[in-house]
Chain A
Amino acid sequence: MKKLLLSSVIIIIGFTFIGRLSYLQLFRFSPDQTLEDPAIKAIYDYPERGYIYDRNGELLVGNQAAYDVMVIPREVKPLDTLEFCGLLGIDKPTFLQKMKRARTYSPRLPSVLVPQLSKEDYARLQEKMRHFKGFYIQKRSLRYYATNSAANVLGYISEVGEWDLKNNPYYRAGELKGRTGIEQQYEEVLRGRKGVKFIQKDRFNRDIGPYKDGKLDTLPEQGKEIHITLDKALQEYGERLMQGKRGGIVALDPKSGEILAMISGPTYDPALLVGRERSKNYNKLHYDTISKPTWDRSILAEPSPGSPFKTLNALVGLQEGVIDPTTKFRCYNGFYVGNVKRGCHCGGGVRDMNSGIYQSCNAYFAGTFRKIYGKYATTDEGMDVWEKHMRSFGLGGYLGTDLPTGRPGRIPNKAYYDRAYGDNRWASSFIISNSIGQGEVAATPLQLANMTAAIANHGYFYTPHVIKNIGNTGGIDPKYTEPHYTTIDRKHFEPVIQGMANVYKYGTAKWIQIPGVEIAGKTGTVENFVRVNGERMQLTDHSIFVAFAPIENPQIALAVYIENGYYGARYAGHIASLLIEKYIKGEITRKDLEKRMLEKTLEHEYAKPYSGEPFKINEYVW
């Protein structure tokens, strides 16, 4: 016993030590301690954010310098407060209050005293700055907007929040990140990569040289400039036309799927979300729950497509072989579903495909729709075929556009109706509204424009996108350069396009032709019901218009959706016509038409349901 005592003690001590060391070095150790290590400080070097240009190389978004006056309260020496306040352009109580707030935050760390001085103020202040100990000026880079349009497409940048910090290890508190639009979608391209320098500190927090001789340090990587497909002139013009109206417009180049303009009304000047007034403006825009300026209607609104959808039903009918262009249906100023008559505004008579389209005859398309379903033994089968054709036009699902938001629209399928009516308890007559683009179908303006582009191309489209090229090397995602073919054969498009051309020549849009340009289009008038304060009411119809031009060599395909704009040719048709002329000719020849569109607003329509008084809808006079 006594011989073993010392040896046992030695061994027990050894085990105890190893146990404690295991706890410290294995259990309590965490590999990312480098960032918490008080002996290492990381200093970041931020590259300039990339510029954004339009399709013609015109600057849309650049950068501007702003100057923050910073203060480190502990280092402040007695100063001439009045003179300093004068230079800063603030009064003494404000100054004292801000100083107090800075001291409360930390006496040792810098706080912002006055954010974002203008260049002039900065110039004035800079000479005198050395007299004021404890204050200094920090340069910051802000976004500069060379356009007052496209706010929702471009997006904005703001400081990262808790969520970003937790989910993306790249960001540190106080850094900026793209929110919404292109700024978010191409965040990593635009921001570049910040450089980092690790400094070894001693216990007095003094620098004692680079950590690991700078082996871990990185140089900042410049943000890349990007070119986007928007046409600045067209975009700005479209937004001017949209003043006082709510709705969305998307214009595409059908040959490439490039988005030429993407307009949502009402919109706002992107510069509002930069600078000293940023948070005030943001709240104003964000909490406007009635006109919703930050809600991009061009990709988020999902109205029923209305009559433009008839063209697709015609194409499906041709593809399925249940009709040919000469097939005729009789219109009784409407058509019957069982004993119930559904109306039509075409004027009645016998309709073939051509006049069915240009007079927008409901009876013609109801008949076509029934024939499609009649071809198959069960409605289920017919539904599947119909749905497959519709989806091939990019409807009823996300298109894959390179913007961070979007909506899928809706192409109803049998599961949808089984849920609504019960299994086998519905028939084609239940869903006949879909033949004329009412009922359960829904599509965003972007989807409508894309559908129009597919018709213009005789059966294929490119995924709509806003990126044109990145940096100097170009190179965009190959998924934007592959054509997507619809399930409709090329030969079937000719008669439908003919009908759409006649919409301008003889049909619903004959008053808004463009001299010298062959256009194919289709009007749409969509009934709409809303709930206001819990009460269901019908409001003035939405005005929808799709078109492409020129017919032989399409350069632009667009969809215009104007909330409560009444019939298709009225607001949507006018605006579509002006945009096409602007894009193809570069100038507007029909000044009176342009003047009317610039001056007219729909504010009175939008005020109606909130007025609390009875009101009329679909008033003919305008």
Chain B
Amino acid sequence: MSGRGLFGRLDWLTVFLYLLLVLIGWVNIYSTTLSDPNVSIFDFSTLYGKQLFFAGLALLGVILVLFIETNFFERFASIFYIICMVLLLGLFVFGKTIAGATSWYDLGFFNLQPSELAKVATALALAKFLSDIQTDLKLWKHQLYALIIILVPVLLILPQPDPGSALIYFSLFFVLFREGFPLFYLGILLFIIVLFATTLMFGTVWVAIGLVILTVLVYTFKKASLKIPLIPVIGTIILSVLFSLSVNFVYENVFEQRHRDRFALWLGLEKDESKLEEIRKTIGYNTYQSEKAIESGGFFGKGFLEGTRTKGDFVPEQHTDYIFSSVGEEWGFMGTVSVILLFTIFFLRLVQLAERQKNGFNRMYGYGVISILVFHYFINIGMVIGLLPTIGVPLPFFSYGGSGLIFFTMLLFIFLKLDSNRLKDGV
């Protein structure tokens, strides 16, 4: 052991970026929830005061994590995972309903959201399973085990209903891909998504025509030496067209109108201006207001505490899911791009850290952490700037909320703790 103490081997760059993100996030929470500038920022009856308190709790969590023996996480990963699954099950009996979702335990001073905790546990459990010397992702059976680890929490969270949180677990597929899960599956998934969207936008006929043209082009321009058997290709086209046909059926009969409206808005399917106006007032209201707020910031923004739409409370849930819109309005293009760059650097640094691990468990957990964070970031900002349909997930370190901040922090710092010990137990 080197003599630099517990904190000496922490990756301070990551810690610094983390603190910066939390600080910027808090400044924007302050701006969105401020009603009377004369109240102290430490007044815990205000939301920004509470967030400061949560940040304090998160710091306690960090210290706790740093003092725990490194092996603890790997050793107890399975138990931790099982406890979390039980907690998720328990919600069906003891859960507290907030905004239509039964996702919380009421602890009196604090509402605990076990799905947040379960993200940490699932990431740990998956890392543990994959790092097992006997696990081989080329085997169907092991692929299935890995999928089960991911899908159990998803199945428990979906009926709460909390589709946003459930969706996040799929990010753990990145860990699988990193560890040898065939990329072929990713290709299929992307292909299905593209088929789905293009069918809604252009209809089955055009999708079929497009596929045929694509195939012809590929055969025309491929190298002569490259042999692509024709039968499977034709089979794929037929399957795709069948899928495309079923899309319309599913869209019209399985989806509810509110889902259809979201897709309509997202893919620009609705051309009728009056109906569009109607959607903007109802299901698309949040997105519309948030886009408008960001747009009105321009290049330089309106300035701290000067966002008129932020002040006028035009963007609903602005301090939680839509926090990024206040960055856009008050800090402008400079602010939004800075935040995007900050996140990007932060994530890339984490990837670098994960790749330098000699221990498989550490690396896989690290990948789990990054995947979860990136997925949140992608879905949240994508929604706020109108690229993705409305899915309620928080922006890590930014959005208001105790559970979120504390568990994102724990998630991150468990990895940093593992990283700080990488030399000691490298095998």
Interface pair B341/A14, CB less than 8 Å apart? yes
Could you show 15 A-B contacts with beta carbons less than 8 Å apart?
A6-B351, A7-B348, A11-B348, A17-B336, A20-B385, A21-B333, A24-B294, A25-B295, A25-B298, A25-B332, A37-B308, A38-B309, A202-B312, A203-B313, A203-B314
**Neighbouring A residues of B13 by C-beta, 8 Å:** none
- Docked complex Cα distance between A200 and B305 (Å): 13
**Neighbouring B residues of A18 by C-beta, 8 Å:** 337, 340
- Docked complex Cα distance between A200 and B313 (Å): 11
* Given A7-B351, A10-B348, A25-B295, A200 contacting B312 (CB threshold 8 A): yes
Q: Give A196 Cβ to nearest chain B Cβ, in Å.
A: 16
Partner of B294, one of A14, A16, A21, A203: A21
- Docked complex Cα distance between A477 and B194 (Å): 72
**Which residue on B lies nearest to A40, using beta carbons?**
B308
Interface pair B333/A208, CB less than 8 Å apart? no
**Which residue on A lies nearest to B377, using beta carbons?**
A13
Within 8 A of B (CB), among A10-61: 10-11, 13-14, 16-18, 20-22, 24-26, 28-29, 31, 33, 37-40
Interface pair B308/A21, CB less than 8 Å apart? no
* Given A20-B386, A25-B294, A29-B299, A6 contacting B370 (CB threshold 8 A): yes
A604 on the B face (CB < 8 A): no
**Neighbouring A residues of B328 by C-beta, 8 Å:** 21, 24-25
A3 on the B face (CB < 8 A): yes
B374 on the A face (CB < 8 A): yes
* Given A24-B385, A25-B328, A2 contacting B183 (CB threshold 8 A): yes
- Docked complex Cα distance between A200 and B177 (Å): 51
* Given A3-B178, A26-B333, A21 contacting B385 (CB threshold 8 A): yes
B378 on the A face (CB < 8 A): yes
Interface pair A2/B308, CB less than 8 Å apart? no
B297 on the A face (CB < 8 A): yes
B371 on the A face (CB < 8 A): yes
Interface pair A29/B336, CB less than 8 Å apart? no
1/0 contact string of A539-558 vs chain B (CB within 8 Å): 00000000000000000000
B106 on the A face (CB < 8 A): no
- Docked complex Cα distance between A10 and B386 (Å): 19
Interface pair A38/B314, CB less than 8 Å apart? yes
Q: Give A8 Cβ to nearest chain B Cβ, in Å.
A: 10
Interface pair B351/A208, CB less than 8 Å apart? no
- Docked complex Cα distance between A202 and B316 (Å): 12
**Neighbouring B residues of A201 by C-beta, 8 Å:** 312
**Neighbouring B residues of A17 by C-beta, 8 Å:** 336, 340, 381-382, 385, 387
**Which residue on B lies nearest to A205, using beta carbons?**
B312
Interface residues, chain A, with chain B CB atoms under 8 Å away: 1-3, 5-7, 9-11, 13-14, 16-18, 20-22, 24-26, 28-29, 31, 33, 37-40, 200-203, 208, 211-212
- Docked complex Cα distance between A618 and B336 (Å): 86
| 6 smallest beta-carbon distances between A and B, as pairs | A39-B312, A39-B308, A25-B333, A29-B298, A14-B344, A202-B312
Interface residues on B, range: 35 or more
**Which residue on A lies nearest to B315, using beta carbons?**
A203
* Given A24-B295, A203-B314, A11 contacting B370 (CB threshold 8 A): no
**Which residue on A lies nearest to B367, using beta carbons?**
A6
Interface pair A21/B178, CB less than 8 Å apart? no
Interface residues, chain B, with chain A CB atoms under 8 Å away: 174, 177-178, 180, 183, 291, 294-299, 306, 308-309, 311-314, 328, 332-333, 336-337, 340-341, 343-344, 347-348, 351, 355, 367, 370-371, 374, 377-378, 381-382, 385-387
Interface pair A203/B336, CB less than 8 Å apart? no
Interface pair A6/B174, CB less than 8 Å apart? yes
Interface pair A16/B387, CB less than 8 Å apart? yes
Interface pair B295/A29, CB less than 8 Å apart? yes
* Given A18-B340, A20-B386, A200 contacting B308 (CB threshold 8 A): yes
Interface pair A26/B299, CB less than 8 Å apart? yes
Interface pair A21/B337, CB less than 8 Å apart? yes
Q: Give A26 Cβ to nearest chain B Cβ, in Å.
A: 6
**Which residue on A lies nearest to B307, using beta carbons?**
A39
Q: Give B136 Cβ to nearest chain A Cβ, in Å.
A: 16
Interface pair A2/B180, CB less than 8 Å apart? yes
Q: Give A211 Cβ to nearest chain B Cβ, in Å.
A: 7
**Neighbouring B residues of A11 by C-beta, 8 Å:** 344, 348
**Neighbouring B residues of A3 by C-beta, 8 Å:** 178, 355
Interface pair A6/B297, CB less than 8 Å apart? no
* Given A6-B374, A7-B348, A7-B351, A212 contacting B306 (CB threshold 8 A): yes
Interface pair B311/A200, CB less than 8 Å apart? yes
Instruction: With A20-B385, A29-B295, A201-B312 given, name 20 new contacts (CB 8 A).
Output: A3-B355, A5-B177, A5-B178, A5-B183, A6-B174, A6-B178, A10-B347, A11-B344, A24-B291, A24-B328, A25-B294, A25-B333, A33-B296, A38-B309, A39-B308, A39-B311, A39-B312, A39-B314, A202-B311, A203-B314
- Docked complex Cα distance between A570 and B340 (Å): 90
